[in-house]
Amino acid sequence: MVSESCQFITPVIVIVGWFFVDWRTNNRELRKEKRSLIDKIHIDIDFIEKKAIEYHQAEYANEQVSKEIKILLGRLIKVINREELIVKKDFWIFSAFKKAITLNNFDSSTFMCQSDNSELLDKIYATKDSLIDKVESEFSKRFR
Amino acid sequence: MEPLLNNQRTVIIFDGARGYGSSFLEEAFGGLVRLGFNKAKILETFEFVSDNDPALVSELIDYIDDAESEG
């Protein structure tokens, strides 16, 4: 009787163990994938910030740079949305970053070159930090 | 503005363009409020669709709200 039970239990343990190991491996791989995606997002956000500073500190409103910024922001939100890097209720954090760059002094006939300590640039730095912080906290919540 | 004046329900699809600057969105939709249309009327007339940028619709509703509170 006992040996019959053992015969049954052993394969069950093997199967459960296999599922557990498989689940852990998948999870680890998914974490790695998300990590490298987030590292790439950091580079993209840094680049958008760089372009935004370049735009707002230029001598004139450079239409080419403004177009590039809009395209880059559009690509960024697509990836954030598709990969669920932040939850929908926190999308306003992306909007705040976008607004900081493109609401004032942007595509405007009254463009003014911004000084290093301007409020507009400070807002860009602050909202960028909040966006990166949100992406990182979502990652930590899901994978730690 | 025409749909608002003619009470004509209109769907605005934002997908397909290469991004929108916030200044443009504010000018367009906050501008409607400054022209005298209220939020209820604007939302009753327009349906906003943006599959590519899900943050966009709430962003432009913010501009409508901000323009109303400023007015």
Residue A3 has pLDDT above 70, yes or no: no
Q: What is the mean pLDDT of residues A85-106?
A: 94
Lowest mean pLDDT among A77-86, A112-121, B16-25: B16-25
Whether chain B has a CB inside 8 Å of the CB on A111: the answer is: no
Can you give the three-state secondary structure of chain A, one letter per residue? CHHHHHHHHHHHHHHHHHHHHHHHHHHHHHHHHHHHHHHHHHHHHHHHHHHHHHHHCCCCCCHHHHHHHHHHHHHHHHHHHHCCCCCHHHHHHHHHHHHHHHCCCCCCCCCCCCCCCCHHHHHHHHHHHHHHHHHHHHHHHHHC
Distances (CA, A) of B50 to A136, B27, B30: 26, 18, 18
Task: Write down the pTM of the prediction.
Answer: 0.85
Cα three-residue angle A31-A35-A37, rounded to 5 degrees: 120
Which B residues, 17 through 36, put their C-beta within 8 Å of a C-beta on chain A?
18-24, 26
Whether chain B has a CB inside 8 Å of the CB on A88: the answer is: yes
A chain contacts of residue B19, beta-carbon cutoff 8 Å: 69-74
Cβ pair B22:A92 closer than 8 A: no
Q: What is the mean pLDDT of residues A86-113?
A: 92
Residue from the list B19, B23, B26 with its beta carbon closest to the beta carbon of A73: B19
Residue A5 has pLDDT above 80, yes or no: no
B chain contacts of residue A79, beta-carbon cutoff 8 Å: none
pLDDT tens track for B39-61 = 999 999 999 999 888 889 999 99
pLDDT band of residue A137 (cuts 50, 70, 90) is: very high
Short-list A76, A87, A91, CA closest to A41: A76
